[in-house]
Structure 1
């Protein structure tokens, strides 16, 4: 390809990646979908493509849908044994963030709720809510009617509505939430943690169970007991982590988060969903493959002082 043709694709790469990430919940799978789109672009008869941006959007969307429908991905996400890949605030793959709908569409809460949707409903929801495509444009991208697009959007919004409205949070506000959470979790007193949690709080963790099984907890008392144990440092935990960790406050997928890091990598994150000033959901992610991109982004940033310098 000539440089201008490559440049045309590269001008769309970030948008395509953020679209694919919202559809797939995985940065690695999103990057694969974008690379496959580039190969299609390379092989296409580009003289017959009237609007390259629309053509690329259609290709990457349908490649992402093929992945969602694949046996491998259906197996991975069966029975809810799956968590999205977390992304650090400012990662370009998070994509557009000009509207509340765009910011909400990339939170872990909404990415998990989108698992309830069919692949087509998920695509309509993302294209409409996060990228503001018209129903006529969505119909063209997905080869459905405009009426079907409207119906899919209505059903998707209804199913996802329970995860919306948690409110936006600034870096300073996120740090205050995380400071209170870490202080309570490391105090050894479960009653302090219980006071921070909503009555219907839930917690989910990967990497802590046998064979990587997802662990789920409910009731504030049970969650507080689990967190108290998890935040208690021991020599065995330090050996498993690869050394003494530093604990930082950060923002991940638009939510306040505890980031546990060694000098060269992020070892785990705890993402907090806040509702009415309390923590409604705790999502702990430690699987290395889910933290690869976040670690790369983390290495490129300057960080505020850690909440705990050596855990």
Structure 2
């Protein structure tokens, strides 16, 4: 191994955690992020790095370009999360090297953020992720997407507006909704039947479209105990769910590997859940206005 190759290897390993973080936020999948790092290393190993003045920025650029190509290929092959859907959205994770790692990474980054990022164009996603999350200047981002720095800034701004969204209810109501939804999610994950019942209005109505399952036809369930029983049985799905703004109110999104498969929109009254709309139909998911909740 030459001195240059040894230096490249050492520097790549030193920056691996940061580069992996870039790739994960770009792609939303731990497995795909590792694939991107492997591809980036092949390119780096073949490159002439003797004239590189900013090694960290150069490595970030290589990884970002690989991720951009992967995102574009995903779209051109129509591998968007809304197009190809397994019968059980969580079942696909069985093929992942470490399903638990996917859940941990999603929690650390914010599942709702990954879902919203997945609605952006590849160029918007790259501009937003690199600038807002990793402080890469627009002068460096522009050439990656064959745009001017000003155009890259506009892409990031557009993405930022999409990520933040707009609430349809006052902030105080959002806070109350968030507490109820957080408690509902915790009880669902833990299979706590009594806690679920306490959060539901006695006459709560749950509606699930055909794509949500488990029946081939739309499902309507009425009553706190029946709805709580179903929510408790969905603990596995709840592991890959997080609160988000769904059409301007607090709801839940489920997205294994950062790809949206299902959303729950809630109705509230007097601190309890009165309605749950379980949305899994591809067209309905595309029409949702999703955004990230402020912590």
Normalising by structure 1, report the TM-score: 0.56
Shift of 1:274: 6.8
**CA 1:136–1:220: 2 relative to 1, 3 Å:** farther
Contact kept in structure 2, 1:194 and 1:220, CA below 8 Å: no
What aligned pairs does 1:217-232 form with structure 2 within 5 A after superposition?
Answer: 228-232=229-233
Aligned to 1:107: 110
Unaligned 5+ segments in structure 1 are: 95-102, 168-173, 234-257, 261-266, 292-311
Aligned to 1:303: none
Tell me whether 1:281 sits opposite 2:282 in the alignment: no
2:239 corresponds to which of 242, 265, 269: 269
Aligned to 2:131: 128
Residues matched between the structures, number = 230
Instruction: Specify which structure has the bigger relative contact order, considering alpha-carbon pairs within 8 angstroms and separated by 6 or more residues.
Output: 2
3-state SS, counterpart of residue 281 of structure 1: strand
| Structure 2: distance between partners of 1:282 and 1:222 | 20
What aligned pairs does 1:32-111 form with structure 2 within 5 A after superposition?
Answer: 32-71=35-74, 74-77=77-80, 79=82, 87-89=102-104, 106-111=109-114
**CA 1:177–1:188: 2 relative to 1, 3 Å:** closer
3-state SS, counterpart of residue 136 of structure 2: coil
Normalising by structure 2, report the TM-score: 0.59
| Structure 1: distance between partners of 2:20 and 2:153 | 25
Give the alignment's Cα RMSD to 1 decimal: 4.9
| Structure 2: distance between partners of 1:274 and 1:114 | 13
2:12 corresponds to which of 9, 14, 29: 9
Following TM superposition, the consecutive aligned residue runs of length 4 or more in structure 1 with deviations greater than 4 angstroms are: 71-74, 80-86, 163-167, 174-185, 188-191, 201-204, 206-210, 219-227
| Structure 2: distance between partners of 1:223 and 1:74 | 43
Unaligned 5+ segments in structure 2 are: 94-100, 176-180, 259-295
